[in-house]
Amino acid sequence: DQQVKQNSPSLSVQEGRISILNCDYTNSMFDYFLWYKKYPAEGPTFLISISSIKDKNEDGRFTVFLNKSAKHLSLHIVPSQPGDSAVYFCAASDYGGSQGNLIFGKGTKLSVKP
Amino acid sequence: GAGVSQSPRYKVAKRGQDVALRCDPISGHVSLFWYQQALGQGPEFLTYFQNEAQLDKSGLPSDRFFAERPEGSVSTLKIQRTQKEDSAVYLCATSTRGNSPLHFGNGTRLTVT
């Protein structure tokens, strides 16, 4: 049974608009969440993270929102750019932020059209 | 280089052969992780080292999989008697101690024929 779920395999957005990528989790022990971005033939690259003591973390065009009661997090990219086209993985940990064994979702492929 | 380096980038093995995959971590990164990523899936945890100590190997799928990091730097993931279901991208990731992001290498794509 998947503990981290990304139910949308793909998302297409126009350049300049907002991209919203969603992630749901089942394990209430998770206390640290991360988003990674992956280009073809490359390894995942860390994008942004959030601890369970917060409900929002922002870094430039990227914002992650956490709703603990719904066991749901989302990544907002505003404005979206063609270079943002990649696969985005949501990941979770129950190691209090020390990374440890990350549980990844299956990923959402984002396409940003010029 | 500045990043995590993995070799080879691609490996084709016949079923039953043994393979060895290498990971050169970022200098000074004490934590090292191996992940397996099957086609269309997210990375799945295999094993974790802190320096030379293998602290968690709960994700290794069978006793055909073995990882080592004898001097606390370079790590090797060995797969004995490869099977078709072992075909995947094997990712190595490293980090400094504590709350810091994982830095992934570009992976080794293993194809077992």
- Chain B contact for A100 (CB, 8 A cutoff): yes
Q: Give the residue-averaged pLDDT of A102-114.
A: 95
Test the A interface: residue of B104, B106, B108 with most A CBs within 10 Å:
B104
With an 8 Å Cβ cutoff, are A99 and B41 in contact?
no
Contacts of A91 in chain B (CB under 8 A): 42
Please tell me the distance in Å from B81's CA to the nearest CA on chain A: 26
Q: How far apart are CA B97 and CA B21, in angstroms?
A: 24
Query: B65-112 pLDDT, tens per residue?
Result: 999 999 999 999 999 999 999 999 999 999 887 557 889 999 999 999
Q: Please name which of A16, A34, A37, A18 lies closest in space to residue A77, comparing C-alpha atoms.
A: A18
Kindly report the number of other CB atoms within 10 A of residue B20's CB atom. 15
Residues of B in contact with A36 (CB under 8 A): 104
Q: Tens digit of pLDDT for each residue in A40-63?
A: 989 999 999 999 999 999 999 999
Query: Which of B102, B103, B108 to probe the A interface (max A CBs under 10 A)?
Result: B102
pLDDT digits (tens, 9 = 90+) for A6-42: 999 999 999 999 999 999 999 999 989 999 999 998 9
Name the residue of chain A whose CA is nearest to B99's CA.
A98
Q: Give strand ranges (E) for chain A.
A: 4-5, 10-14, 19-25, 32-38, 45-51, 56-59, 62-67, 72-77, 86-93, 103-104, 108-113
Dig out the tokens for B28 from the structure. Answer: 């000074």
Residue contact B101–A104, C-beta within 8 A? no
Residues in A touching B45 (Cβ below 8 Å)? 101-103
- How far out from the chain centre does Cα A89 lie? 5
Give the DSSP H/E element, type plus range, for residue B103. strand B103-104
Residues of A with Cβ-Cβ distance to B94 under 8 angstroms: none
